């Protein structure tokens, strides 16, 4: 089961509700969707992520987009588990992590695509499957 997050920054930037993690049908492929920054689109996007801890991933014909690629512009993304995209010691917020398998990122002190500061936060909205 995955989790739905929104991303907001005090500068006014907001990313739509993003369905993070595995769903019922995607688990057997070893591919999940994780938050990433697309330098070309200058947006927070969901990009396919192959978890190295997942055993026996099954490739399907539906896997037309490779992990690490922006679904909008098809360029390389940077996942938010990259330490350069988060403040290691945020002073505000909840302080919990977003994680799935080996992927782990903070929920506060994230790089904002609009203002270029480490002030964006992730907000839990619900679950999906």
* Residue range 35-94, pLDDT digits in tens: 999 999 999 999 988 765 555 455 554 445 678 999 999 999 999 999 899 887 655 555
User: Can you give the pTM of this predicted structure?
Assistant: 0.81
31 vs 116: CA distance, rounded Å = 29
Q: Read off the pLDDT of residues 83-124 as tens digits, 9 standing for 90 and up.
A: 899 887 655 555 568 887 788 899 999 999 999 999 999 999
Q: How confident is the model at residue 129 (pLDDT cuts 50, 70, 90)?
A: confident
- pLDDT recorded at residue 45: 95
> In this predicted model, which residue has the larger pLDDT, 113 or 32?
113
Specify the pLDDT at position 39: 97
Tokens at 59, concatenated:
């490739």
Domain with 105 in it: 2-128
Q: What is the mean pLDDT of residues 26-41?
A: 80
Q: What is the mean pLDDT of residues 19-37?
A: 75
**What is the number of structural domains in the chain?**
1
């Amino acid at each position: 089961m995955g989790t739905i997050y929104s991303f907001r920054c005090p500068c006014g930037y907001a990313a739509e509700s993003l369905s993070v993690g595995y769903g019922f049908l995607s688990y057997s492929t070893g591919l999940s969707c994780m938050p990433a920054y697309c330098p070309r689109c200058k947006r927070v996007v969901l990009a396919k992520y192959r978890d190295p801890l997942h055993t026996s991933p099954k490739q399907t014909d539906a896997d037309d987009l490779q992990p690490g690629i922006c679904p909008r512009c098809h360029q390389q993304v940077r996942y938010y588990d990259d330490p350069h995209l988060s403040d290691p010691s945020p002073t505000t917020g909840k302080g919990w992590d977003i994680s799935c398998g080996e992927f782990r990122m903070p929920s506060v002190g994230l790089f904002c695509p609009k203002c270029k500061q480490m002030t964006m936060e992730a907000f839990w909205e619900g679950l999906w499957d």
